[in-house]
Chain A
């Protein structure tokens, strides 16, 4: 225990004496939370819409009006015929066309509505698909509004309205913030310990430690505990920053957010040790760690949904701890899920923590 104490003292002294580290611990999460929620977004805005109104009824005017006043669209004109609108689409002067057929209002009131057609330029696939989805919603809700105003009930509206539950405003930012926290933890708690240990190897200072009776486990614990503390500080700073900037607070339990983070921090730091044990130079460690990070981030569902990956890739994600942590963080943060709802994910995360911890202990050798 006393050995752990003196080693911890050494690690913290070195940490605070480093000209770079203490500043990074504070400013890194703030900067990430300040910049990336705006940048890492798939949100579509300013979709240019041309409405072809062949009905010219109060309903069709209502739909045009709704589109005109939505923040997502840039309303361009009401064209009389579809061909002219299509020409505009081809010339890239508009992104989407909403075409309302003649007699539309009448058909709706009779209970057998004609279909509104939506054509979008899908060269920019995201803008195309998300834009037309928005349009589907907005035309649907306009029709519902219209029927309500007329006091008619029991008539069906043709389009399916997709309500975005949990992230109701569909603020993509909120969706990205938990994922950004995960990336921060991967960098701070995986990368930094690996580099720190390899640095001692390169300087030869670890050899002086290896020739003392210090136990491997005690030395490693002293190396990792500071990064656990740093990890929790980074989480706290990012939660606070995202509250101040975006008003986002975990809708689930704060304690559970921290618990999940703690498991993930331990797991990542153990992985960092394994990487360090297999690298004799910084370059090697950086390269290995980068590879791990890319897989964790790109395949863990942090940026793109796992459901949209090919099947083989979906199976592969089961062996990625970032997948489970991502599910826990988003569910706890945005949906308010509890540890009971997420018991499988917590169990998987803890199991990975154990495996990586064991690997870290086995692969560190004081003797060659």
Chain B
């Protein structure tokens, strides 16, 4: 099977097995530049596992794929220079300040100190967060931590940003602000790959895939999916698709 070469993400029959358990079962899809791609599914459907393979954190059991033009089987480390990643669990250093975290990750991606300072200040100004520049990250409220984690993931201006349930445990207002940030990044040409199990958030995405038991059951724009399944909301679409699910909650 051929890959879409203009796409930023292109996978074919991607599979991950843990012993007898098939976490991800032959999934195939393409994501184009500037797209917000929603990766939906219940807990345990295999979203995070699939995402970890795309980020070079986990080896696929079988299947092929390209991310940012590099082979996910052989060029995992090359991919890493071109992506941003925000994991489900908050994973900036809590005992470093906001700016120290930015300086660390900026430095790791090869930004010069001056560049990091300029970008950090611009980001913090936009978030109205300048006075917290030297605050220890551990003392920030969760909503702010999530916004900060997203900003750090964009600091080196990656082609693709992977977000794994970025809005888990965050209040509705902050969630809305968060999606505005995602929208802003996409408008700037960045591709966003977002996993979530909040179906209302699917409406913010250009296209969504719905994963059930490790397989992709549907993939299209939210409007077309709703039409196809004769549903009023994405929530309904999801419930129709996930009815036959055997695992997860």
Contact = CB atoms under 8 A, between A and B. Distances in A.
A13 B105 CA distance: 15
A94 to B, nearest CB: 62
B110 interface: yes
A207 B87 contact: yes
B55 interface: yes
B80 A205 contact: no
B104 A367 contact: no
Contacts of A2: 107, 110
Contact of B93 (A14, A210, A213, A368): A14
B57 A212 contact: no
A93 interface: no
A2 B111 CA distance: 10
A213 B85 CA distance: 12
Contact of B85 (A17, A208, A214, A367): A208
B108 interface: yes
A3 interface: yes
A14 B110 contact: no
B56 interface: yes
A18 B94 CA distance: 12
Interface string A1-16: 0110111011001100
Contact of B80 (A13, A211, A368): A211
A70 to B, nearest CB: 58
Interface stretch (B95-103, B224-232, B241-249): B95-103
Interface string A342-368: 000000000000000000000000111
B93 A205 contact: yes
Nearest to B162: A211
B139 interface: no
B208 interface: no
B108 A7 contact: yes
Given A204-B91, A212-B80, A367-B76, A3 B59 contact: no
A115 B83 CA distance: 88
Contact of A213 (B57, B77, B89, B90): B77
A200 B95 CA distance: 12
A23 interface: no
Given A208-B92, A368-B57, A214 B83 contact: no
A210 B57 contact: yes
B81 interface: yes
B108 A6 contact: yes
Contacts of A7: 104, 107-108
A110 interface: no
A210 B59 CA distance: 13
A203 interface: yes
Contact of A208 (B87, B96, B100, B107): B87
A204 B108 contact: no
A199 to B, nearest CB: 11
B41 to A, nearest CB: 20
- Interface SS of chain B: loop
A152 to B, nearest CB: 78
Which size bracket describes the interface of A in this complex? 20 to 34
A17 B137 CA distance: 13
Interface string B49-91: 0000001111100000000000000001110110101010111
B91 A212 contact: no
Nearest to A368: B58
B107 A6 contact: yes
Contact of A367 (B59, B78, B93, B110): B59
B109 interface: yes
Contact of B87 (A9, A18, A204): A204
B104 A18 contact: no
A13 B57 contact: no
Nearest to A206: B91
A205 B108 contact: no
B76 to A, nearest CB: 6
A214 B91 CA distance: 16
Contacts of B109: 212-213
Interface string A300-323: 000000000000000000000000
A207 B93 CA distance: 12
Contacts of A213: 77-78, 80-81, 108-109
Contacts of A17: 95-96
Nearest to B76: A367
Cβ-closest 7 pairs across A and B? A6-B107, A204-B89, A208-B91, A211-B85, A204-B91, A213-B80, A213-B81
